[in-house]
Amino acid sequence: MTPLLEVTNLSIGFANPEPITAVDDVSFRIDRSEVIALVGESGCGKTLTGLAIPGLLPSEARTSAGSRVVLDGNDLVGMPEAARRRIRGARIAMVFQDPQASLNPVMRVGDQVIEAIRAHGPVPRAEARTRAAALLEEVGIADAAARLDAWPHELSGGMRQRVMIAIALAGEPDLLIADEPTTALDVTIQAQILELLDRLRRARGLAVLLITHDLGIVASRADRVLVMYAGRIIESAPTAELFRVPRHPYTRGLLAAVPRVDAPESRLEAIAGSVPQPGRWPPGCRFHPRCPVAIARCGTEAPSMEPAEGPHHTACWVATGAGS
Amino acid sequence: MTVPLLEVRDLVKHYRAHGTVIRAVDGVSLDIAAGETLGLVGESGSGKSTVGRTVLRLEPLTSGSVRFDGNDLGSLSSAALRATRRRMQLVFQDPGGALNPRRRVGDAIAEGMRIHRTVAPGAIRDRVIALLEEVGLAASDADKRPHQFSGGQRQRIGIARALAVEPALLVCDEPVSALDVSVRAQVLNLLLELRERRALAYLFIAHDLAVVQQVAHRVAVMYLGTIVETGQARTVIGAPRHPYTRALVSAIPHPDPARASERIVLAGEQPSPAKPPPGCPFEPRCFHPAKDARCRHERPALEGLGERRVACHHERVD
Amino acid sequence: MMASARAGLGCAAAIAALALLGPPLAGDPLAQPDPLGSSLLAPSGAHWFGTDQFSRDVFARLAHGARTSLAIAAIAMAVAGVLGIAFGLLAGSGRGLVAATMSRVVDLALALPRVVVLLVLVAAIGALPPAGLGAVLGLTGWPAIARLVRGEALALQHAGYVTAARALGATPGRVLVREILPGTLPPALIALTLGVADVLLLEAGLSFLGIGVRPPTPTWGSMILEARPHLGQAPWLLLAPGIALVIATAAATLLGDALRHRIAGDRA
């Protein structure tokens, strides 16, 4: 079966002020109604990867020649912008971290949802309003018909994020890219939004690319996890598998660095050093200066993604036994 | 019983904005002994950061008292208060904004020593270098400016600046939540080491219960300006009694996806501190099976045995 | 470096050269060697920019006028800078009635049209030496600086490092001088540099109206005033100070802009 979305050899760079690579040869696939988590820290390239899929990269960013983003057999990278615009919203929708900045402050919430509905086809205004109320109800906004007339500032952060999700659903997309959708929200509200995404996946068969820095969010909600570090995917595995036997030393370090309720210890295992930013990536494996198990080869030669066991892949000379 | 290092009684902080009163902190009492860490947990709007700022007298309080080392801070003259501030310091959430971009790192760390004249001018440089090394930075970093450092390193600088005046209490306001995950553990470990070496007490304010249980001896859970549950960290997190604490505990990321599905998803959102519910502040979102009319009308007191206390009409500590 | 910054530096260098090197080269700006025979001479090898109606050398007057005009601008900016920064800092950092009153004073001072105030002041005081004129121009220029500094100081009150200094036990005065003041200086410096252009034009305007620096001391404004009756025969009388004024104004504006870009870049 062909996947819904297949990203191959995606590389993204910037020319100014000096040429730097921000995303380096990233490949992955998403099936229908699958939730994939793309996990990484600041500057790892996860957000750019998400923006590149619907073609929303900032104008200074350059996608390199071999990059492919194939949705249902059609390559979006080579597609004319007009055709790509028809795909945005209708096939691929996005939700961002800051629902405050994503809603127009001088437009009523309902009008913004109605506008999104009518952007995807001629719908009479009255019917669009009914559908907007239904969408708000679907994303868990109580008293939806009345809330259509609310202004964005009258809603809490969690409510705004629900409205953003309703707007994303307006075009009946197959894939929702959610970039840190809960990072700006409180813990108890985070749980609500994650549950909502899970419900939409089951009810609508929606595929979700969940971009986050928080492995904890991933644990309960994703089918598969992709771990990014310094522009590359360094580990890919079914979620349970990843948490059971993390293969890459970075993933192991991340998991050890997260405090756990079941094993409270006075000291956490920390990863030494700090996250390298684009343009300052070391040669070889980019994690090797911080890696506790690095060998000589790691400093000179970059490992590629190799199967570790079954569907579990990782890019590490030591973990895949290619170091000797 | 010995006098606690910090003793907060019935702390109330109300703000006035556009004709309404915002009850940010509505009667909070807590103690911290020397060398002890109290974790203050809550969501944004719970008033936890306001507690930290009023304890340090960075903001005046509306009523209540804060005693430090037995002295009521409210009765001190402003000069005496400044002298007391030497012994209670603040570590910020945003390590970038907490450092003056125009000043060299060594200069920022030396500031407290110059203010309180605790170190002879000729010896300041050596102290700065010793502090930098104590927090895991290099002597040569003293002459750099804040923008040359990563977030984790800036937080180390902020900690060194606070330590420069030899405090007994550090108020840490979300000290790791702005940092990359792989760097958080480094800073938490540093705080643990310093506590041990210097016998520091921490008021550790955070929204993340998992982080708090890593460092805190005791925790206090805040909701809408009041403490709803408090006790030994191990007990509160291991066997939470208040429904809100139970929801928070269930939201702690769990590496086992099967167990993570036991998460309690609360309905609704924290009410505005300008319009708190008349009874129990948590009543509108509460899922307790025994919830009744009393919860709607009467605010439950924080009651229990010793340090283990719960504010709920239907949960008792025994 | 940006092209506009380079142009600004070029203009400033030209004016500085005129003010520094011009007077020794040009001789006495007040000498009237031959009021009847050699008045209103066109530019030549002997008189680079010609002569005026009293046979005085225009280049000598322009060069000495540059010194006077620039000195007036420097004094005005010093007065406006010191008053504006001090007032703005206190208004933006203090609490209660005093700060509120100071803020109202700034707003009130800004509401008065500067030219009208200047006219009233100068008319009331009467004849002024150049330094006095500079001081008066500064006295009418500080409210703009004060408002700017007040805004910056208010914003900085909430900076983390200001809270940190208070938590360390720093006195309010120490916080003001060591943490807040340095942050307000860059924008104040930009405004003062841009303000030089205003002051040069105002000085020229007052002198043109005959109520600025009194003759025969040359300033660019008074030279333009004196050129007026002879425009038809001797346009160089107007062109020389006019072009100098344009170059000096451009220098201040371009440098102020370049400074703003530089500082904005630093902050990003």
Among the partner residues C160, C168, C183, nearest to B85 by beta-carbon distance? C168
For residue B245, being part of any structural domain is answered with yes
Among the listed residues A79, A36, A73, the one whose alpha carbon sits nearest the alpha carbon of residue A176: A36
Intra-chain end-to-end CA distance of chain C, in Å: 17
* Mean predicted confidence (pLDDT) in C192-208: 81
User: Are residues B253 and A254, on separate chains, in Cβ contact within 8 Å?
Assistant: no
Looking up residue B230, the CATH number of its domain turns out to be 3.40.50.300
Residue B88, pLDDT above cutoff 90? yes
User: Are residues A217 and B253, on separate chains, in Cβ contact within 8 Å?
Assistant: yes
pLDDT tens for each residue of C138-195: 888 888 899 999 999 988 888 888 888 888 888 888 888 888 888 888 888 888 888 8
For residue C50, being part of any structural domain is answered with no
Please report the pLDDT score of residue A266 as a whole number: 63
* Residue in B closest to A213 by C-alpha: B181
In the complex, which subunits touch C with 3 or more CB pairs below 8 angstroms?
A: B
pLDDT tens for each residue of B151-175: 899 999 999 999 999 999 999 999 9
For residue B65, being part of any structural domain is answered with yes
* B287 and B193, same domain (yes or no): yes
pLDDT tens for each residue of A68-99: 999 988 898 888 888 888 888 889 999 988 77
* B43 and B139, same domain (yes or no): no
Intra-chain end-to-end CA distance of chain A, in Å: 37
Mind giving me the DSSP string for A170-192? TT--SEEEEESTTTTS-HHHHHH
| Domain total of chain C | 1
Looking up residue C90, the CATH number of its domain turns out to be 1.10.3720.10
Partners of B211 on chain A (C-beta within 8 Å) are 259
For residue B276, being part of any structural domain is answered with yes
Cα gap B185→A246, rounded to integer Å: 18
**What rounded mean pLDDT belongs to chain A?**
88
* B53 and B149, same domain (yes or no): no
Among the partner residues A220, A260, A290, nearest to B257 by beta-carbon distance? A220
| Whole-angstrom Cα Rg for chain C | 22
For residue B92, being part of any structural domain is answered with no
**Å between C100 CA and nearest CA of chain B:** 18
Please report the pLDDT score of residue C268 as a whole number: 37
* Residue in B closest to A154 by C-alpha: B272
Please report the pLDDT score of residue B250 as a whole number: 85
Partners of C158 on chain B (C-beta within 8 Å) are none
For residue C35, being part of any structural domain is answered with no
User: What count of Cα atoms within 13 Å lies in the side-chain half-sphere of residue B168?
Assistant: 13
* Mean predicted confidence (pLDDT) in B83-87: 88
Please report the pLDDT score of residue C170 as a whole number: 87
Do the chains A and B touch each other, judged by at least 3 C-beta pairs below 8 angstroms? yes
Among the partner residues B43, B180, B234, nearest to A186 by beta-carbon distance? B43
* B200 and B272, same domain (yes or no): yes
pLDDT tens for each residue of B14-50: 998 788 888 999 999 999 999 999 999 998 889 999 9
Range of the domain at B151: 98-166
For residue C39, being part of any structural domain is answered with no
Do the chains C and B touch each other, judged by at least 3 C-beta pairs below 8 angstroms? yes
* B240 and B213, same domain (yes or no): yes
Domains of chain A are 5-91+173-270 (3.40.50.300), 111-168 (no CATH)
* B150 and B252, same domain (yes or no): no
For residue C42, being part of any structural domain is answered with no
* Residue in B closest to A239 by C-alpha: B257
Which DSSP letter does residue B271 get?
P
For residue C16, being part of any structural domain is answered with yes
Among the partner residues C161, C169, C178, nearest to B83 by beta-carbon distance? C169
* B274 and B232, same domain (yes or no): yes
pLDDT tens for each residue of A210-256: 999 888 777 778 999 999 999 999 999 999 899 889 999 999 998 88
**What rounded mean pLDDT belongs to chain B?**
90
Range of the domain at C116: 3-25+55-267
Q: Is residue B8 a contact partner of residue B31, using CB atoms and an 8 Å limit?
A: yes
Cα gap C186→C263, rounded to integer Å: 7
User: Are residues A219 and B188, on separate chains, in Cβ contact within 8 Å?
Assistant: no
Most C CBs within 10 Å, among B56, B85, B87, B111, to test the C interface: B111
Please report the pLDDT score of residue B281 as a whole number: 93
Cα gap A230→A241, rounded to integer Å: 23
User: Are residues B115 and C170, on separate chains, in Cβ contact within 8 Å?
Assistant: yes
For residue B93, being part of any structural domain is answered with no
Which of B139, B166, B193 corresponds to the end of one domain? B166
* B120 and B231, same domain (yes or no): no
In the complex, which subunits touch B with 3 or more CB pairs below 8 angstroms?
A: A, C
User: Are residues A188 and B234, on separate chains, in Cβ contact within 8 Å?
Assistant: no
Partners of A195 on chain B (C-beta within 8 Å) are 265
**Å between A122 CA and nearest CA of chain B:** 35
* B156 and B243, same domain (yes or no): no
Among the partner residues B58, B97, B116, nearest to C161 by beta-carbon distance? B97
pLDDT tens for each residue of A31-73: 999 999 999 988 899 999 999 999 888 888 889 988 999 998 8
Q: Does C71 touch chain B (CB under 8 A)?
A: no
Residue C246, pLDDT above cutoff 60? yes
Band of residue A263 on the pLDDT scale cut at 50, 70, 90: low
Q: Is residue B269 a contact partner of residue A140, using CB atoms and an 8 Å limit?
A: no
* Mean predicted confidence (pLDDT) in B174-198: 91
Percent pLDDT > 70 in chain B is 96
Please report the pLDDT score of residue C266 as a whole number: 52
Cβ neighbours of residue B5 closer than 8 Å, sequence gap 6 or more: B32, B33, B34, B36, B68, B69, B168, B169, B201
* B83 and B191, same domain (yes or no): yes
For residue C192, being part of any structural domain is answered with yes
Please report the pLDDT score of residue C1 as a whole number: 57
* Mean predicted confidence (pLDDT) in B74-87: 88
In the complex, which subunits touch A with 3 or more CB pairs below 8 angstroms?
A: B
pLDDT tens for each residue of A272-321: 888 888 888 999 999 999 999 999 999 999 999 998 888 899 999 998 87
User: Are residues A255 and B237, on separate chains, in Cβ contact within 8 Å?
Assistant: no
The enclosing H or E element of B71 equals strand B71-72
Partners of B182 on chain A (C-beta within 8 Å) are 41, 250, 253-254, 257, 270-271, 275, 290
Please report the pLDDT score of residue A261 as a whole number: 64
Higher pLDDT, A312 or C263: A312
Decide: residue A58, CB within 10 A, 0-12 exposed, 13-18 middle, 19+ buried: exposed
Cα gap A12→A23, rounded to integer Å: 5
* B178 and B250, same domain (yes or no): yes
User: Are residues C160 and B111, on separate chains, in Cβ contact within 8 Å?
Assistant: no
| Interfacial residues of B (vs A; Cβ cutoff 8 Å) | 43-44, 150-153, 180-186, 188-189, 192, 207-211, 213-214, 233-234, 237, 247-249, 251-258, 260-261, 263-266, 269-270
| Domain total of chain B | 2
Tokens of A312: 């579990």
Q: Does C263 touch chain B (CB under 8 A)?
A: no
For residue B232, being part of any structural domain is answered with yes
Which DSSP letter does residue A290 get?
G
* Residue in C closest to B89 by C-alpha: C167
Percent pLDDT > 90 in chain C is 4
Among the partner residues C160, C170, C182, nearest to B98 by beta-carbon distance? C160
Residue C267, pLDDT above cutoff 50? no
Which of B138, B166, B194 corresponds to the end of one domain? B166
Q: Does C179 touch chain B (CB under 8 A)?
A: yes
Partners of B112 on chain C (C-beta within 8 Å) are 168-169
* B33 and B66, same domain (yes or no): yes
Phi, psi (deg, nearest 5) at residue C117: -60, -45
Band of residue C247 on the pLDDT scale cut at 50, 70, 90: confident
For residue C34, being part of any structural domain is answered with no
**Å between A319 CA and nearest CA of chain B:** 20
Please report the pLDDT score of residue A163 as a whole number: 93
* Mean predicted confidence (pLDDT) in A118-146: 90
> Cα torsion for B131, B135, B137, B138, to the nearest 10°?
30
Cβ neighbours of residue A165 closer than 8 Å, sequence gap 6 or more: A95, A139, A176, A181, A193, A196, A197, A200
**3-state SS assignment for residue A319:** coil
Residue B64, pLDDT above cutoff 70? yes
Most B CBs within 10 Å, among C156, C161, C184, to test the B interface: C161
Please report the pLDDT score of residue C218 as a whole number: 80
pLDDT tens for each residue of A147-202: 999 998 888 888 999 999 999 999 899 999 999 998 888 888 888 888 899 999 99
User: Are residues B158 and C166, on separate chains, in Cβ contact within 8 Å?
Assistant: no
Please report the pLDDT score of residue C225 as a whole number: 76
Residue B227, pLDDT above cutoff 90? yes
Residue B260, pLDDT above cutoff 60? no
> Cα torsion for C235, C238, C244, C249, to the nearest 10°?
-130
* Residue in C closest to B162 by C-alpha: C168
Please report the pLDDT score of residue C140 as a whole number: 86
Residue B208, pLDDT above cutoff 70? yes
Higher pLDDT, C22 or A130: A130
